Chain A
Amino acid sequence: MEFLDLIRKPWPWYVAGPLIGLTVPTLLLIGNKSFGISSSLRHICAACIPARIPFFSYNWKKEIWNLIFVLGTLVGGFLATTYLKNPDAFQLAAATKADLSALGIRDFSGLMPADLFAAENLFTLKGLIFLVFGGFLVGFGTRWAGGCTSGHSIMGISNLQWPSLVATCCFMIGGFAMTHLFLPFILKLV
């Protein structure tokens, strides 16, 4: 089937970006919900380990839609990978491949490098930095910033909120700093 072959190929930015943008009015109009994903992490804390911390003492059940949404994201990831798998090899910009090869990355076969994310790295320094430390920064940083790429960069900027633009610039500065200043050092270390 031609249509199925077409959607199995990687989707270009001008298809994916507008679809992600449409999430904003969809959530607003189907249930008066503001788009934001990092909130789900807070709701999980409030539901599982509130520990009498005021920041987690609220009625998380009222926000359960957010947890259902991220559960859907997980299921969507499974469905796309299982039933709409790209038949061709993963394409990476030649310059990025050259840069990362020079830093010791060897596996370019999938969406995530096995050099860093394979299960055997779990209990090594690699796992500690790329999974545990990286994940901690994502959770701690997004909550301190009051949102992530969805809540600030997409929902916030779409609603013309300048603090969200400031937050987004800081996300990018942090990312550039890690990629160009710290990552070469970290990849040498591990």
Chain B
Amino acid sequence: MQQIDELPEALVCDAPNDMKKPEAGLANGKYLIVGILFGIVFVKAEIISWFRIQEMFRLQSFHMYGVIGSAIVVGMISIWFIKRFNIKTLAGETVQFHPKTFNMGQVYGGLLFGLGWAITGACPGPLFAQIGSGYVTVIVTLLSAIGGTWVYGLLRDKLPH
């Protein structure tokens, strides 16, 4: 029942793997290392804190705006360099970029996620780092987020996009 190649574009993953060469076992270890470093930054910059998210939505601290803003600037410059100089991946492949097409889901879903972000104090990344930091009740939040994703998949055809 698994069929990937003939899926329509809309069903394709949003953070896709575009590497043509298959990677197995140890080759995936590099994503573990990047993930670990990412998790350490999340905790040390206190991005996983419910309080920091409250400061952001109350406009009482610049911290989160600085983090997200400077991350975007660095990401933007990096992508510009990759495109401008046609920098290849380690495996020698051309880097693939995916244009995002607009649909109303970005508005409705975006608003719902924003509501959840301010309640839980976490977007999906920090959820994992919070659990690792010992906030065990967040396991419930994560399971519920998986449930929310599943219900979206179930109702997808009935929702406006």
Contact = CB atoms under 8 A, between A and B. Distances in A.
Interface of A: 7, 10-45, 49-59, 62-66, 68-81, 84, 86, 90, 92-93, 95-96, 99-100, 108, 111-113, 116-119, 121-122, 127, 129-164, 166-180, 182-183, 186
B45 A117 contact: no
A28 B36 contact: no
Given A10-B44, A92-B55, A136 B116 contact: yes
A159 B116 CA distance: 26
Interface of B: 1-4, 7, 11, 13-20, 23, 28-58, 60-76, 78-79, 81-82, 87, 89-91, 93, 95-103, 105-125, 127-138, 140-154, 156, 159
Interface centre among A74, A111, A149, A173 (most CB of B within 10 A): A111
A127 B106 CA distance: 28
A42 B91 CA distance: 27
Contacts of B52: 111
Contact of B131 (A69, A77, A180): A77
Given A19-B41, A38-B124, A74-B128, A69 B100 contact: no
B100 A77 contact: no
A177 B114 contact: yes
Contacts of B147: 135-136, 139
Main secondary structure on A side of the interface with B: helix
Contact of B115 (A59, A64, A78, A178): A178
B66 A17 contact: yes
B63 to A, nearest CB: 5
B14 A38 contact: yes
Given A138-B141, A138-B148, 17 more contacts: A13-B62, A17-B67, A36-B15, A38-B123, A51-B150, A72-B31, A76-B41, A77-B39, A80-B44, A86-B44, A112-B49, A117-B50, A146-B109, A158-B75, A159-B79, A170-B110, A173-B114
Given A14-B66, A139-B148, A176 B36 contact: no
Max chain A Cβ within 10 angstroms of own Cβ: one of B7, B42, B50: B50
A58 B13 contact: yes
B36 A73 contact: yes
A156 to B, nearest CB: 6
Contacts of A42: 13, 149, 153
B63 A141 contact: no
A74 B48 CA distance: 11
A182 to B, nearest CB: 7
